[in-house]
Amino acid sequence: MDDTLAKLPRAFSGATVLVLGDVMLDRFVYGAVDRISPEAPVPVITVERETVMLGGAGNVARNVAALGGRAVLVGVVGDDDAGRVLTGLIDREASLDSALIVDARRRTTEKTRYISGSHQMLRADREDRGEADDQALLAAFNAHLREVDVVVLSDYAKGVLTPLVLRAAIAAANAAGKPVIVDPKSRDLSRYDGATLIKPNRREAAEATGVTGAGDEAAAEAADAILATAPNLAAALITRGGAGMTLAVRGEAPVHLPATALEVFDVSGAGDTVAATLALALARGATPLDAARLANLAAGLVVAKLGTDVVTADELVGLAHGEHADPVADKIADLDGALAVVAGWRARGLKVGFTNGCFDLLHPGHVSLLAQARAACDRLIVGLNTDASVQRLKGPTRPVQKESGRATVLASLSAVDLVVLFDEQTPLNLIRAFRPDVLVKGADYTVETVVGSDVVLGYGGKVLLAQLKAGQSTTNLIGRMNAKA
């Protein structure tokens, strides 16, 4: 990849993005379903925990902050508990500034997902789709326009981006010389005319233009149709999932960018990552093509991640230099990094398992235990004793392999999703931090003697005792090796 793309992310830290649009609170309620209600033929979910995240335009702003930029978020919340929770989430982000309008006549848009295991049982929406206070929104927008470098309009059709707000915001940004990126929702893309770049996905482009088909020619035809619909729109970028992206800049031939992901784990949030990357790149003077190329790399990174939906500037720099992500190294994390990954898993309703050990000289018994553990959950964390911890447990001649080698071997197994080293005698602190749904140890333990079993059972989790392979032991293996020597 050329130096231009490698240099761009380093400049993101000096850029500020004004995000205007529909702000939402995403709430996830997790629990167990093990019976049907006697009142009606519906499942009963026993609630175990809840998490909340920024959604809608808020997630675009969070992506800007993760990439190293600063975001100013303009939108509407109600004078309600959900609005206060949402504002609190924004306050926790050092690089995210709130310019939200509190409107007592409206409810904060809130999506609550009820999840059991890895299945979403129900989604309940609280929202008002009526038009928001145009003048208050535009006043907040204009108050911050001078201090920003680029504008993102994030439309979820909840009433914030009315025709009046769109026209006034785009006109004000154009007059101030600020590029405008649009993530559209409406089938009438002419309402975004005057923006710098519009970013529909393949389905949205097909609904707006009537051009269907998954090939490059259909994508190019749809992009050209979008530009014809909005004569003052400078460029259209259609995101096409596994087929990559198609960019049409007015007066130039369409360019097709192939997808860059080596492996896809989770596509959630990829569109918001693309919008944030486009905005920051254009803010730093990139051409639409270079901005699209960088956003394409960012999309490839985010869908290849385990349970997260943001990328960093450092990751983009490495990929732009041709340093492809190492899927094995990406599985090895410190506690803070692992907690961020697990939070993403939780947000998507995935069941998290945990097991631990020294895993010195990996043998078929280890492989069997890990396979059984992974079969009991959607994602498996392995707590790995550090070298110092192994020595305290096994004596001065152990481990045979250093912790870095043991971690690499574990991370290379398909059954293992995350490896976290710990230096204590037991993994109790990790168990308390991760709160796994399933805790797994070998059947040479009892439930009562498994470290952390009381913690996991106390919040409704499960303890699994995996069957052991007879005769498989690292100690016995080392003994046989020494005997032969």
- The pTM for the full model equals 0.71
**Residue 189 and residue 163 in contact, taking contact as beta carbons nearer than 8 Å:** no
Q: From the CB of residue 462, how many other CB atoms can be counted at a distance below 10 Å? A: 18
pLDDT band at 305 (very low <50, low <70, confident <90, very high): low
- Sequence-separated (6 or more) residues with CB below 8 Å from residue 364: 469, 472
Positions marked active-site = 272
| Neighbour-count burial for 181-207, b at 16+ CB within 10 Å, e otherwise | bbbbebeebebbbbbbbbbbbbebbbe
Which pLDDT belongs to residue 327?
65
Parallel, antiparallel, or unpaired for β 235-239 and 197-198?
Answer: parallel
Which pLDDT belongs to residue 264?
45
Report the alpha-carbon distance of residue 473 to residue 457 in Å, rounded: 29
Give the pLDDT mean for 297-311.
Answer: 67
Higher pLDDT, residue 475 or 317: 317
Model pLDDT for residues 157-198, shown as the tens digit of each residue: 999 999 999 999 999 999 999 999 999 988 899 999 999 999
Report the alpha-carbon distance of residue 57 to residue 480 in Å, rounded: 61
Closest CA to 182 of 11, 5, 22, 69: 22
The distance of Cα 86 from the centroid of its chain, to the nearest Å, equals 18
**Residue 243 and residue 205 in contact, taking contact as beta carbons nearer than 8 Å:** no
Say what percent of the chain tops pLDDT 70.
89
Residue with tokens 């090796």: 481
Give the pLDDT mean for 135-164.
Answer: 95
- Sequence-separated (6 or more) residues with CB below 8 Å from residue 75: 20, 21, 22, 23, 56, 57, 58, 100, 101, 137, 160
Burial class for 250, CB neighbours closer than 10 Å (0-12, 13-18, 19+): middle
pLDDT band at 470 (very low <50, low <70, confident <90, very high): low
DSSP 201: B
Evaluate if residue 306 carries a pLDDT over 50: no
Q: Which fold has domain 3-178+260-325?
A: UDP-N-acetylmuramoyl-L-alanine:D-glutamate ligase (3.40.1190)
Give the pLDDT mean for 133-144.
Answer: 95
Q: How many residues does the chain have?
A: 485
Evaluate if residue 363 carries a pLDDT over 90: no
Domains of the chain, by residue range, sit at 3-178+260-325, 331-484
Model pLDDT for residues 203-226, shown as the tens digit of each residue: 999 999 999 888 999 999 999 999
Give the pLDDT mean for 241-266.
Answer: 80
Which pLDDT belongs to residue 323?
53
Report the alpha-carbon distance of residue 324 to residue 315 in Å, rounded: 9
Q: Which of 71-75, 267-271, 427-431 has the lowest mean pLDDT?
A: 267-271
Give the pLDDT mean for 309-313.
Answer: 71
Evaluate if residue 66 carries a pLDDT over 80: yes
Q: From residue 289, how far is each of 4, 152, 228 by CA, in Å?
A: 11, 18, 19
Superfamily designation of domain 331-484: HUPs (3.40.50.620)
DSSP letter string over 397-460? Answer: T--SS-HHHHHHHHHTSTT--EEEEE-SSSSHHHHHHH--SEEEEETTS-GGGSTTHHHHHHTT
Evaluate if residue 430 carries a pLDDT over 70: yes
Q: Extract the tokens encoding 291.
A: 């901005």
Q: Please, what sign has the CA dihedral across residues 128, 199, 162, 187?
A: negative
Q: Extract the tokens encoding 255.
A: 């360019």
Which pLDDT belongs to residue 141?
97
- Sequence-separated (6 or more) residues with CB below 8 Å from residue 252: none
Which pLDDT belongs to residue 307?
45
Highest mean pLDDT among 45-59, 174-188, 258-272: 174-188
Which pLDDT belongs to residue 33?
83
Q: Which of 115-124, 282-291, 420-429, 443-452 has the lowest mean pLDDT?
A: 115-124
Give the pLDDT mean for 339-343.
Answer: 83
Report the alpha-carbon distance of residue 153 to residue 169 in Å, rounded: 9
Evaluate if residue 453 carries a pLDDT over 90: yes
The mean pLDDT value of the chain amounts to 87
Evaluate if residue 59 carries a pLDDT over 50: yes
Q: Which of 4-13, 240-249, 455-464 has the lowest mean pLDDT?
A: 4-13
Which pLDDT belongs to residue 183?
95
